[in-house]
């Protein structure tokens, strides 16, 4: 049960960097609301439609605690008598869809580079479920039901968690900017679903050769250049598809990605194989459509590719590699570096990981390489093993 607030607590409590609501155990529904702009008394209740409502009673610097309690008792009395609280009409919170479009998305774009990718989640999933509801009409049970429905529709736990993350972000932002009529986030502390552990997939040299052969027969003319380029640079698909010649120096073998996932530019060293691919694709593109800004443009429009899945899916399945994702090419590139003796720090810098912990997924590969390295001692010192288990060691000069 909440502690009983005293006037002394009201007087000394100050804003400490984050909004705080203190419930008064001595008066049901009364809260002390501490914000950056000041502190006030609020009355919170559930109306006849089971919707949370909140009424500001007054500035806590002026209004005494005893007066706030008296006001709450009077409001509760009116509600018991069937009144809708007379002239004190609750402020209606904005509609979810309107708030997302007008407030949240502009805010998200200013702080998250991948915010534009959220639109599909809102349009196809969140708007149909919550779009017409006001923010304060969304209940915790609504979110739980929504998640269960998505699972029943065979969406993966990862997709469901992405949807939950967007709901949390929207409602949290509404709380942070103190949207009128909304001050309780029903998604707060809502736990994400447990996701199955995905086993990293690495292409073997033989699998890579089979895949490259299938790409050369693809109906997509530039797929035979794009996929090998990803495999030899470890670049993300979006980074490669948006690559521009102005950021590539074939003489020095360097490629600058001006804006990466981490929000920082990245320098990618280009191998001889990667440079050969770039020279080949340049010749093909320039012979078909002339000089072009983009490295991998569509040969019909001259604009960058936005999707490769259809042609990629056909090519990989044709050689029995249907389980290989495009992003696995990045993993395969990293595994090749580690297995050839590069340190995890080298891999981190080349892949552009912001944190070495992300690169640690390849640590088991380096351990295997070290195991193979120490086996060289066997070849150097052990000449054989007798039947009784003793080891014969040969001495070398």
CATH number for the domain running over 205-358:
1.10.443.10
Q: Does pLDDT of 89 surpass 60?
A: no
The pLDDT value given to residue 296 = 95
CATH number for the domain running over 96-176:
1.10.150
- Burial annotation 209-227 (CB, 10 A radius, 16+ → b, else e): ebbeebbeebebebbbbbb
- pTM metric for this prediction: 0.58
Higher-pLDDT residue of 320, 81:
320
Higher-pLDDT residue of 14, 376:
14
Q: Does pLDDT of 363 surpass 80?
A: no
The pLDDT value given to residue 160 = 93
Angstrom distance (rounded) from CA 214 to CA 319:
7
- Extents of the domains making up the chain: 7-80, 96-176, 205-358
- Please state the separation of Cα 15 from the chain's center in Å: 31
- Quick: pLDDT tens for 147-166: 999 999 999 898 999 999 99
Q: Which range has the worst mean pLDDT, 143-157, 173-187, 329-343?
A: 173-187
Inter-axis angle of helices 223-233 and 272-289, to 10 degrees?
A: 150
Which alpha helices (H) appear in the chain, and where do they start and end? Answer: 7-12, 65-80, 96-99, 105-111, 118-121, 127-130, 140-152, 157-176, 205-216, 223-233, 237-241, 272-289, 309-318, 328-339, 344-351, 356-359, 363-381
Over the chain, what is the mean pLDDT?
84
Higher-pLDDT residue of 184, 335:
335
The pLDDT value given to residue 391 = 47
Average of pLDDT values for 133-148? 92
Angstrom distance (rounded) from CA 137 to CA 283:
59
| Cβ atoms of 233 and 255 closer than 8 Å | yes
* Beta-strand pair 254-257/266-269: antiparallel
Q: Nearest CA to 53 among 19, 70, 29?
A: 29
Angstrom distance (rounded) from CA 64 to CA 70:
10
- Quick: pLDDT tens for 338-360: 888 888 888 888 888 878 887 88
What are the C-alpha distances in Å from 286 to residues 205, 230, 294, 298?
A: 31, 21, 11, 12
Q: Does pLDDT of 95 surpass 70?
A: yes
Average of pLDDT values for 40-61? 82
* Reported confidence tier of residue 87, pLDDT bands at 50, 70, 90: very low
CATH 3.30.160.390 fits 7-80, yes or no: yes
* Reported confidence tier of residue 198, pLDDT bands at 50, 70, 90: low
Q: Cβ atoms within 10 A of the Cβ of 183, count?
A: 22
% of residues, the chain, pLDDT over 90: 40
Q: Does pLDDT of 19 surpass 70?
A: yes
* Reported confidence tier of residue 396, pLDDT bands at 50, 70, 90: very low
Q: Does pLDDT of 394 surpass 90?
A: no
């Amino acid at each position: 049960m909440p502690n009983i607030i005293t006037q002394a607590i009201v007087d000394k409590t100050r804003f400490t960097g984050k909004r705080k609501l203190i419930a008064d155990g001595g008066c049901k529904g009364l809260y002390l609301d501490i914000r950056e702009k000041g502190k006030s008394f609020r009355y919170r209740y559930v109306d006849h439609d089971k919707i949370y409502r909140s009424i500001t009673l007054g500035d806590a610097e002026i209004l005494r605690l005893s007066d706030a309690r008296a006001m709450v008792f009077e409001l509760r009395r009116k509600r018991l008598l069937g009144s809708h609280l007379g002239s004190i009409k609750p402020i209606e919170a904005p509609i979810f869809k309107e708030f997302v479009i007008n407030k949240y998305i502009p805010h998200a774009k200013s702080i998250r580079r991948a915010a534009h990718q959220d639109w599909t989640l809102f349009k196809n999933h969140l708007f149909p479920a919550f779009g017409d509801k006001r923010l304060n009409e969304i209940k915790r049970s609504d979110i739980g039901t929504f998640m269960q429905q998505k699972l029943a529709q065979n969406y993966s736990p990862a997709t469901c968690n992405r949807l939950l993350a967007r709901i949390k972000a929207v409602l949290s932002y509404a709380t942070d900017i103190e949207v009128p009529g909304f001050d309780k986030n029903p998604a707060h502390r809502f736990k994400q679903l447990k996701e199955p552990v995905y086993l990293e997939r690495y292409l073997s040299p033989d699998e890579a050769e089979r895949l490259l052969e299938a790409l050369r027969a693809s109906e997509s003319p530039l797929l035979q250049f794009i996929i090998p380029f990803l495999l030899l640079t470890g670049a993300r698909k979006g980074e490669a598809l948006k690559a521009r010649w102005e950021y590539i120096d074939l003489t020095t073998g360097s490629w600058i990605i001006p804006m990466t996932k981490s929000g920082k530019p990245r320098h990618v060293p280009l191998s001889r194989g990667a440079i050969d691919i770039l020279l080949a694709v340049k010749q093909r593109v320039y012979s078909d459509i002339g000089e072009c800004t983009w490295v991998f443009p569509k040969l019909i429009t001259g604009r960058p590719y936005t999707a490769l899945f259809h042609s990629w899916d056909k090519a990989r399945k044709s050689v029995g590699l249907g389980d290989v994702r495009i992003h696995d090419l990045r993993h395969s590139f990293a595994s090749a570096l580690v297995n050839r003796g590069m340190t995890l720090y080298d891999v981190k810098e080349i892949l552009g990981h912001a944190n070495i912990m992300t690169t640690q997924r390849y640590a088991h590969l380096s351990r295997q390489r070290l195991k193979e390295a120490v086996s060289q001692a066997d070849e150097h010192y052990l000449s054989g093993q007798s039947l009784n288990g003793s080891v014969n060691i040969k001495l070398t000069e």
